[in-house]
Structure 1
């Protein structure tokens, strides 16, 4: 065994995060670690990496008992970690981050020329060709994650822990990651792989360990479990119950007769956005599709006033929206940002304080905020969103990533918005919590909330959106509705970059006027898509 956990228990105030958990990692294997948010995955990783010391139990590294009192102890022992949220230094150069703590030196001084050259060579193998002298924070989230991956792999590690490593990556980068995993496997390096994406787990993992409510549920070859069996272990429900109730998808309610509650017209911002237009009706879920860097997040940020515009207007209820985020909030337009760590949670505040933060002006009378009203709102949304928390006064930083995401959703929902912009709302969330969030969005749409949904998972958009607006290089290249909502059509729109063609195809589909050969192909594609969705719900 390269790494072993024996009967480890970890307790916090009022919470037993791990309850006599055992875990074994063989040299060279790719071992999946799965469970719902709050199951104990993050706590186990922090025990393995020296962030937390176990309350009881033993940690063995290559058969020898070890005690890691801080992360650097685990790193020196050969345990390297890639976290879901990039934990590098944004103001430092890309090269500096890659070689942080192990900079090449010449005569006692950092050899910047050699370090930059070595960094450029290493990162080229990960598809990153940016100037390594620029600050890391100027790169996109996906590129930053690849730098973190390259840094972790470059160290002399015999264990690499990957916590949701693909959550910020586009498909090309995901393939690069998988090739890195294969190289590590061939070198005999063991990998702990945490992900909520079933396709990834079944593609690259050898064995799986399932945690639920802080307890060990199962360890064994992943190939021996069907997807339904794996999910049933994670959720603690029977396969039959999941088959009947677990395939929750967003509702489809076009509300075609209603006027848009939000219209964004001709949004243009430097080289990031070019004449982007989007409209959303009450009760409608509109998805933004496209590769990373296509302008999805920029569109949402422009709508709420967080991205300055060169031209374009945003109308809410027919009235022009003034510049700036405060005007958007007052008009009932709120946004859940992609990076919950940097732009969402306030880690040192409690769950209660994080939830009511945006609603404080509504809760105050003559400048005094009612604590009773706060408590009622918090209690309502903790129950409604099933946020796992020991107390509303618990620090939000102590929650799992999925529960932190639910806290942010609660923050904006308690302001009773008209329009909610969701940028990667299920990023880093496990299967159970993902279904809960999707069901919640469905419920909110049915109640009349207008939703703009951004996701890097195309299946999530196809299943969840009434309409898809496809972006490429900051411009709209197609709009898909009804039977046009297929993966092939989205990819074709991205590849062709022809907005007119995309609009024409959508119009032909609605009118049923396509040529006979094209109609046959379209019907076949739509039928295959429907069959695929049905099969995915039951697989």
Structure 2
């Protein structure tokens, strides 16, 4: 039975069409994956579907259970049974699970909230999503994966017939991801349909009945998931074959540029434990050093110590080009030519209300200043050069950066720090939540940088990325560096064995 039809959907911003004739169909109990590069129009299409862009602000028709939808708000589509779960969760962490589940939809009788009935319903909803915690638990005490399940339970409390999951697994571990994918399959068996948006094509292949690909706001095609290979999806997304996802290029590796000795970092919330325990590493000029390890291994904390921004108690010795340096703050690190692109671009990277251009130039305003003041001409030229070099897709560099896709926000942050011409660039999860086309461009940029003599430290949870890009790999586990490998014949199994072994493996040729 046909649940949803979106016919010839068009949505323009000014003179630019973000959507130009999109068609999408979904049956009851079906999982449809929506694929496309960052900026292809996926999020815009879902905002049209869910009432963020109300009827009248777009062209085309939406039919849900055979009836035309003319929604003015998200509340209107929720009443129909359409629920969207965004990558950035909307839960109130200070409230309990129960309070979050019924926030704004409390069950009451004659003006009195019926907590007993809400508790009974909450228990049933949590059981549906296989979450074995008390409804009274504060959401802030849950892990990200558990919070994601609470969001789905909240959608089910509203009797959702269609779930839209926008990058739901981006922040999740492998085990949490599998729980979520199993849940989607269970809901499918109960007749709940799902539109699944993910850049992780292995998940798309595993879960989809059909796969719809859009590119530059246009519908490229919808095919049976079983009939498509990962290469087929990539080709449809980017408009060309991508035979080598990791465009590894030869480059010269020089002498040591950075040495880190005996770094210890205490847990910010528990001073009796350490996030980093006696870490030592070296980085050479023109090298890409990959840092691998399971979530919680201490990789980000070690990078924050090197960049001088770790908020907890820490110690260690740092040598730059053979000379001892004091990396007491990020300002000190930047002055010495060390820059870091953070893991969470939303919280620690972009300034959402500022323009794309000012997000790029803000760290390098000294370059455009003199006793006469700020040269807007020089700043404008530098911004345009950066946008062009990194292929940042934006209608204008004057629009707020929050309107860009995740991949283009990431490129803008990279542009910000490259404008400072660093000698060392730390990239923490540089391609998280980014499509394959944008990943490819970032990899090409990384190799262009090391060819110029810039050294890169890349933290990544994706082992194919670590193996595809790194010259050398350091493996961390529970705050300890367990091993170091030249990336010659290195396999994912070798990295995992190292991370989980009882003994430190030291340097492995």
Out of 306, 314, 317, the residue aligned to residue 318 of structure 2 is 314
Out of 80, 97, 122, the residue aligned to residue 77 of structure 1 is 80
Is structure 2 residue 260 aligned with structure 1 residue 259? no
**Structure 1 residue 191: Cα displacement:** 0.8
SS in 1 for 2:495: helix
> Structure 1 residues 359, 130: CA separation in 2 closer, same or farther (over 3 Å shift)?
farther
1:39-438 to 2 correspondence within 5 Å? 39-53=40-54, 54-103=57-106, 108-109=112-113, 111=115, 115=119, 118=122, 122=126, 133-134=137-138, 136=140, 141-237=144-240, 239=241, 242-243=242-243, 246-251=244-249, 253=251, 255=253, 258-263=255-260, 265-270=262-267, 271=273, 272-307=275-310, 308-317=312-321, 318-366=323-371, 368-438=373-443
Structure 2 gaps of 5+ residues are 268-272
**Structure 1 residue 410: Cα displacement:** 1.0
Structure 1 gaps of 5+ residues are 511-539
Aligned twin of 2:35: 34
Contact 1:126–1:150 (8 Å) recurs in 2 = no
Cα deviation per residue 1:422-481 (whole Å; 9 max; x = unaligned)?
121111111111111111112112212221112221111111111222122222222222
**Structure 1 residue 252: Cα displacement:** 6.1
In 1, the alpha carbon distance for the partners of 2:261 and 2:154 equals: 41
> Structure 1 residues 416, 104: CA separation in 2 closer, same or farther (over 3 Å shift)?
farther
Contact 2:123–2:135 (8 Å) recurs in 1 = no
SS in 2 for 1:280: strand
In 2, the alpha carbon distance for the partners of 1:224 and 1:374 equals: 50
Q: Which moved more, 1:481-490 or 1:115-124?
A: 115-124
In 2, the alpha carbon distance for the partners of 1:310 and 1:124 equals: 43
> Structure 1 residues 267, 172: CA separation in 2 closer, same or farther (over 3 Å shift)?
same
Q: Which moved more, 1:68-77 or 1:40-49?
A: 68-77
**Structure 1 residue 91: Cα displacement:** 4.2
Cα deviation per residue 1:314-354 (whole Å; 9 max; x = unaligned)?
33333322312221222222221222112121221111111
Greater helix proportion = 1
**Structure 1 residue 124: Cα displacement:** 11
**Structure 1 residue 309: Cα displacement:** 3.0
Contact 1:94–1:135 (8 Å) recurs in 2 = yes
In 2, the alpha carbon distance for the partners of 1:163 and 1:392 equals: 26
Contact 2:93–2:138 (8 Å) recurs in 1 = no
Contact 2:292–2:476 (8 Å) recurs in 1 = yes
In 2, the alpha carbon distance for the partners of 1:202 and 1:52 equals: 30
In 1, the alpha carbon distance for the partners of 2:330 and 2:136 equals: 33
> What TM-score do the two structures reach when normalised by structure 2?
0.90
Aligned residues: 497
1:1-12 to 2 correspondence within 5 Å? 1-12=2-13
In 1, the alpha carbon distance for the partners of 2:136 and 2:249 equals: 45
Contact 1:253–1:466 (8 Å) recurs in 2 = no
> Structure 1 residues 489, 57: CA separation in 2 closer, same or farther (over 3 Å shift)?
same
> Structure 1 residues 21, 121: CA separation in 2 closer, same or farther (over 3 Å shift)?
closer
